[in-house]
Structure 1
Amino acid sequence: MSGEHAPLSDEARDRYWSKTRSLTIVVLVLWFFFSLVIPWFVSSLNSVTFLGFPLGYYMIAQGSLIAFVVLIFFQNWRQDQIDEEFGVADE
């Protein structure tokens, strides 16, 4: 039967959710950093230029969006590794 997995033991389930929770916390902290911390310091970052644009503007307009996309791919990749480690990956 595809899609069905053997149930995890209580210990394995706790380790699985611990790793998943840790990954989620790391991604949310990075998301917070790129969505709130960088914009907070935009005026001081504008004293530096990058590709002819003030760095603060560039980080808000392009850098944060790139970081969000990279975070999405990273979280998906890492969660797939965790799922495979515990034998609950989709086929």
Structure 2
Amino acid sequence: MSKQKMDERAIGYWKANISLIGILMAIWAFVSFGLGYLLANPLNGIHIGNVPLPFWMAQQGAIIVFVILIFTYAKLMDGIDAKFDVNE
């Protein structure tokens, strides 16, 4: 394989990786900051147990979503690795 072709594949791989990271971080930012702070007033009427939804999202929900996003990242990166033939 030529050096130019390998460079193009490497650039494509990192663009896909950075794009995926950006999307997942935007989701996490929306859940933690958006639901926990920016939309707190409209969502205060919704309760999980005895706790308002924005407080719950800021304290617990963002952590749970972050863990889910870690597993999502791992699963999607397996696909990207296979697509660019850099998998194990």
Q: TM (normalized to structure 1)? A: 0.75
Distance 2:75 2:54 in 1: 29
Identity of aligned residues (%): 32
State the partner residue of 1:87.
85
CA RMSD of aligned residues (A): 2.0
Amino acid in structure 1 at the alignment position of 2:72: F
Q: Per-residue displacement from partner, 1:52-88 (whole Å, max 9, x unpaired)?
A: 4322222222221111111111111111211122111
Contact 2:46 2:53 survives alignment (8 Å): yes
Equivalent pairs, count: 84
Matched letter for residue 67 of structure 1: V
The answer (yes or no) to whether the contact 1:44–1:56 under 8 Å persists in 2 is: no
The runs of 5 or more residues in structure 1 that have no matched partner are 1-6
CA contact (8 A) 2:32 2:57 kept: no
Aligned partner of 1:21 among 1, 18, 21: 18
Task: Give me the TM-score of the superposition, normalised by structure 2.
Answer: 0.77
Aligned residue number for residue 62 of structure 1: 60
Greater share of helix: 2
Structure 1 runs of 4+ with >3 Å offset: none
SS at match of 2:85: coil
CA shift, 1:89, in A, is: 1.4
Whose relative contact order is higher, 1 or 2, with alpha carbons under 8 Å and at least 6 apart?
1
